[in-house]
Amino acid sequence: MNSQYRQPPNSIEAERAVLGACILSKEALGTAIELLRPDDFYDVNNRKVFEVLSSMYLSDKPADFVTVSIELTAKGWLEQLGGQSYLAQLVANVTTTSNVGYHAEIVRENAVRRRLLLVGDEICTMAADTSVSTKEIIERAEKLIFDAAQNKNSSDFRHVRDIIGPVFVNVEDRFNSHDADVAGYSTGFSDLDAITGGLQPGSLTIIAARPSMGKTAFAVNIAQFGGGGIKGANLPVLIFSLEMPAEQLVLRMLSAESEVNLSLLNSGTFHTNDFKKVQRASDILAKRNIFINDDSNLTAVDFRTRCRRFKTRYPDLALVIVDYLQLMSSGDRRPTDGRQQEVSDISRMLKASARELNCPVIALSQLSRAAEQRTEKKPQLSDLRDSGAIEQDADVVLLMFRQDYYSDNENNDQLNSQADIRVAKNRNGSTGVFHLTFERELTRFRNHG
């Protein structure tokens, strides 16, 4: 770092406040892990403690004064840090753990500033190198600044009511210029519930299809119109949308709820009579306990940490949806055996998370192009992309197929199509095929017949 920066930005007090809160509260630790990483801590000793706390949390080990002392001792660090008196001082300075988020933001802000100072030095060095083109320097500088400022763990959960307002306002602006026999979480689709008995707590369900077949719409329909069963209706549902922004996802929900064409909502050209339908649908959606996280850089560690934090806030979490599995990364910096092994690790993590959260997890998955090469286009379990571990870990695998997807006949009047959903695997029940009607203009599936 340039010598003119004698004292890099830091707040040892904020760092210690974060660590003390983490030792006192598991929820505070979850919050801190979501906001910070060990190298955000300026003080080396504080960094070591947070590294241990993070490792214990992710391994589901209880972290308190005694267990943290044991872990630090095992690493040979406790005496280096100043012994148990150092830990005692961390805890003693904490008046409330509820301020951990505020203190963590102070730590992160200083860490970003330190990284930006280093980036500035590097940019100066590049600018002085006449062998590097100006264009390369600018591109490299932009990336360095972006990477320094980025915090992949800063994304938070957003209740659908906080999103529906702006979405509805946009639609308005464009316009102006039940389930008692279901043992688990009811999907809202009677034939699927009849086969599975609803989505069971601790289960992993895979919805697999080729791109643009409708798997996102199907999963969102389950979140939006499902629920009920013995668990009751309108319990919290958490959606991780790695591919689609939250606003776009909610706009789809608005179309499905109001039964107003999605393309017309986008353009604002729907009929005056439909405006009240859109308004009513907006009110209904705002009351649904659906939360969306649209971080496109989600790692397996992020997923598990955020789910745990959400479960702490909302113990009655009823369903988690991931759209989609192949867009998630393991976040493991160690060398792996390739993408297949990484997907296997993610699949196992999803199943473990379902069990830990004690709620069903739905993960969407792409299918390989193998079906495209066959005369019979209907998907098979072997078409699951990247890893056979997906089939192994899943309790239920649903393969989606629409014949019109492969049709060469462009018939604009045929807005609805039949979707065949094959229950290709059902660990605790039967398999079979059922049919749904897919209303493409609404991105909505309905029970067939």
For residue 280, what are its two tokens?
């009513």
Give the CATH number of domain 158-447; options: 3.60.60.10, 3.40.50.300, 3.40.50.2020, 3.40.1440.60.
3.40.50.300
Find the catalytic residue in 27, 243, 259, 441: 243
Average pLDDT across the chain, whole number = 83
Q: Is the pLDDT of residue 344 over 90?
A: no
Give the pLDDT band (50/70/90) at residue 272. confident
Q: Which residues contact 182 (CB under 8 A, 6 or more apart)?
A: 193, 197, 198, 228, 229, 230
Interatomic CA distance for residues 295 and 205, integer angstroms:
22
Helix (H) or strand (E) holding 137: helix 134-149
Phi then psi dihedrals of residue 438, to 5 deg: -105, 115
CATH number of 12-149: 1.10.860.10
Each domain of the chain, given as residue ranges in start order, spans 12-149, 158-447
Q: Is the pLDDT of residue 143 over 80?
A: no
Q: What's the pLDDT at 333?
A: 47
**pLDDT average, residue stretch 127-135:** 84
Residue type, 103: H
Cβ(320)–Cβ(354) below 8 Å: yes
The 8-class DSSP code of residue 399 comes to E
* Catalytic-residue membership of 243: yes
Interatomic CA distance for residues 71 and 55, integer angstroms:
10
Interatomic CA distance for residues 416 and 438, integer angstroms:
5
Q: What's the pLDDT at 169?
A: 75
Q: What's the pLDDT at 308?
A: 83
Give the pLDDT band (50/70/90) at residue 331. low
Q: In the chain, what percentage of residues exceed pLDDT 70?
A: 88
